[in-house]
Amino acid sequence: MDSNNLPDSLKKIIVSEEEIRGIISRIAQEITQDYSGKNLLICGILRGCFIFMADLVRHLELDVEISFIKASSYGSGKEPGELKIVEFETLDKYKDYYIIIVDDILDTGNTFYYLEQELKSKGFAGVDFCVFLDKPERRQLPVSAKYTGKRIGNEFVVGYGLDFNEKYRNLPFVAAVE
Ligand code: 5GP
Ligand code: MG
């Protein structure tokens, strides 16, 4: 889908395809430097991570293993609800690994805060967070990501994996919903 076919409510581009390519190559370089020679698991939070993570791992010059968990704090619409995490137990077999949790966007911080508490007790060599977008103004809990693609303002955004009622995940860029 390209920007010419978009509804008027999605005309404001927040991150272009070109900017995305730059972000991917920068973060991939940072991770490649930081984790060379280490056992690394890249674990994505479904479903929003799927495009960002697919782009990112293909630019890493490292041996990595890949896993996913599902965590969702948004039901339908734009307001967060109760956090649900599934497939958590599958991480147990990576105990001696460094783990990077990958998500589309860091918002209130609820998801990462909760995950950090859970992961601390599991004995990983290290746990870090990597997000494509960050909305620092929205933070309710003290969490931050080691790797951040771009900081944006307090707007609801879609595309590049991010949805609005499950639509628009396949846009190759990020747009604000007006
Ligand atoms: P947090 O727990 O940090 O509040 O929420 C993070 C999750 O909320 C993200 O993984 C994403 O699923 C959802 N989210 C937060 N802001 C946005 C947004 O602007 N657009 C979309 N589509 N999802 C968002
Ligand atoms: Mg999410």
Instruction: Provide block-wise average pLDDT over 10 residues at a time, the chain (178 residues).
Output: 74 95 98 97 94 98 93 60 65 88 95 87 91 97 96 97 95 95
**pLDDT at residue 6 in the model:** 78
Tell me whether residue 80 is in a domain: yes
Cα first-last separation, the chain: 19
Nearest CA, atom 23, ligand 1: 162
**pLDDT at residue 4 in the model:** 65
**pLDDT at residue 89 in the model:** 62
Tell me whether residue 47 is in a domain: yes
| Cα distance between residue 148 and residue 151, in whole Å | 7
**pLDDT at residue 9 in the model:** 83
Tell me whether residue 167 is in a domain: no
| Cα distance between residue 147 and residue 171, in whole Å | 23
| Cα distance between residue 67 and residue 45, in whole Å | 9
| Cα distance between residue 53 and residue 71, in whole Å | 15
pLDDT averaged over every residue in the chain = 90
Q: What residue numbers bound the domain in which 50 lies?
A: 17-152
Residue 135 CA: nearest ligand 1 atom is: 16
Q: Is 55 a catalytic residue?
A: no
Tell me whether residue 172 is in a domain: no
Tell me whether residue 89 is in a domain: yes
**Residues with beta carbon inside 6 Å of ligand 1?**
48, 73-74, 80, 103-111, 156-158, 162-164
* CATH code, 29: 3.40.50.2020
Counting ligands in written order, the one closest to the CA of 71 is 2
- Which residue stretches of 36-88 are H helix? 50-57
Counting ligands in written order, the one closest to the CA of 155 is 1
Residues with CB under 5 A from ligand 2 (ion): 48
> How remote is the CA of residue 48 from the centroid of ligand 1, in Å?
8
